[in-house]
């Protein structure tokens, strides 16, 4: 069994956000992290690997520096990485991105015993569309918002969270699962993983490699081909620095309560 884990390098939202003139993010000028939900997806895959000794492949679409992220995930325990990177893919919306990723996974040999794990959504786009769209493109079942995953012989039993409850879903491979943060606690990289990660393969798939894949419609990839375009991105105006209360814990707590009382907020 192979588990493909889709991961995305996203801007660290605790830092400054920079936007290009065409409305896309200026990713090169921002600190980056692995999308948090994708980390939960990776942890879920690695937990299954601990149980079943399956192969875990980290997949990302992004610029060349995204390889460093794949190496970190290999240091956590993934077996190899796939970096989908090409100028022609830049600026793709979720529709374009999902078909490119689906094509890459297909190209890497996605079989009937295999799984795809994704994070629920990325913190930069917040659409939660790519995972389900990959599943549709590959014509495989999908289970979203997984808070628990258990392997029982030939099936996976998944607790799928809803707004007001949950459902228990049984699904066989091949399938795609999107993961939420409640699913698991993340493991760290290991020192052994760090010293060995550059010996493991990271395959680069560019436009030339994927353009003839049947899952790709050439006119619907990249910024120009994407059915949707962002026409404006902006950082909302800051609210203001607020008031910093100084003093001991007791003093500041008293001061805060007094202020809230005066403002009739409590």
Considering the complex, state which of residue 38 and residue 93 has its C-beta at the smaller distance from another protein: 38
Q: Which residues contact 36 (CB under 8 A, 6 or more apart)?
A: 119, 123, 181
Q: Which residues make beta-bridge pairs with 4?
A: 57, 116
> How far is residue 121's CA from residue 8's CA, in Å, rounded to a whole number?
10
Considering the complex, state which of residue 7 and residue 216 has its C-beta at the smaller distance from another protein: 7
* Ramachandran bin of 240, using left for φ above 0, alpha for ψ from -120 to 50, beta for the remaining angles: left
* Residue 240: DSSP 8-state: -
SS (H, E, C) 104-145: HHHHCCCCCCCEEEEECCCCCCCCCCHHHHHHHHHCCCEEEE
**Position of tokens 């001991």?**
248
Q: By the criterion CB under 8 A, which residues form the site for another protein? A: 68, 71-72, 75, 188-195, 197-198, 244, 246-249
> How far is residue 34's CA from residue 78's CA, in Å, rounded to a whole number?
14
Considering the complex, state which of residue 57 and residue 197 has its C-beta at the smaller distance from another protein: 197
**Shortest distance in whole angstroms from residue 188 CB to another protein:** 5
Nearest Cα to 116, choosing from 45, 171, 170?
45
* Helix (H/G/I), strand (E/B), else coil: 147: strand
Considering the complex, state which of residue 249 and residue 263 has its C-beta at the smaller distance from another protein: 249
Considering the complex, state which of residue 159 and residue 200 has its C-beta at the smaller distance from another protein: 200
Q: Which residues make beta-bridge pairs with 160?
A: 146, 167
Considering the complex, state which of residue 66 and residue 197 has its C-beta at the smaller distance from another protein: 197
Nearest Cα to 122, choosing from 43, 9, 2, 230?
9
> How far is residue 48's CA from residue 55's CA, in Å, rounded to a whole number?
9
**Shortest distance in whole angstroms from residue 242 CB to another protein:** 11
Considering the complex, state which of residue 34 and residue 140 has its C-beta at the smaller distance from another protein: 34
**Shortest distance in whole angstroms from residue 167 CB to another protein:** 32
Sequence length of the chain is 266
**Shortest distance in whole angstroms from residue 14 CB to another protein:** 13
**Shortest distance in whole angstroms from residue 197 CB to another protein:** 8
**Shortest distance in whole angstroms from residue 75 CB to another protein:** 6
**Shortest distance in whole angstroms from residue 183 CB to another protein:** 18
């Amino acid at each position: 069994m192979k588990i493909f884990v889709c991961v995305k390098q996203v801007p660290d939202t605790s830092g400054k956000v920079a936007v290009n003139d065409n409305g896309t993010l200026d990713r090169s000028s921002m600190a980056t992290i692995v999308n948090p939900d994708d980390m939960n997806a990776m942890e879920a895959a690695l937990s299954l690997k601990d149980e079943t000794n399956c192969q875990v492949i980290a997949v990302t679409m992004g610029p060349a520096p995204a390889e460093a992220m794949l190496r970190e995930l290999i240091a956590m325990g993934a077996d190899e990485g796939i970096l989908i990177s090409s100028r022609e893919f830049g600026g793709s919306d979720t529709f374009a991105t999902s078909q490119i990723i689906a094509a890459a996974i297909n190209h890497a040999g996605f079989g009937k015993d295999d799984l795809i794990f994704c994070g629920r959504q990325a913190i930069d786009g917040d659409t939660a569309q790519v995972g389900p769209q990959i599943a549709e493109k590959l014509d495989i079942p999908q289970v979203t918002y997984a808070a628990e995953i258990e392997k029982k012989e030939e099936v996976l039993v998944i607790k799928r969270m809803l707004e007001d409850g949950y459902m228990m879903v049984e699904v066989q491979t091949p399938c795609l699962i999107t993961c939420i943060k409640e699913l698991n606690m993340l493991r760290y990289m290991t020192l052994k993983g760090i010293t060995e990660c550059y010996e493991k393969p990271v395959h680069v798939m560019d436009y030339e490699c994927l353009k003839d894949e049947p899952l790709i419609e050439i006119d619907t990839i990249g910024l120009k081909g994407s059915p949707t375009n962002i026409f404006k991105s902006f950082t909302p105006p800051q609210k203001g620095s607020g008031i910093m209360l100084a003093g001991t814990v007791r003093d500041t707590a008293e001061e805060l309560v007094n202020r809230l009382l005066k403002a009739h907020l409590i």
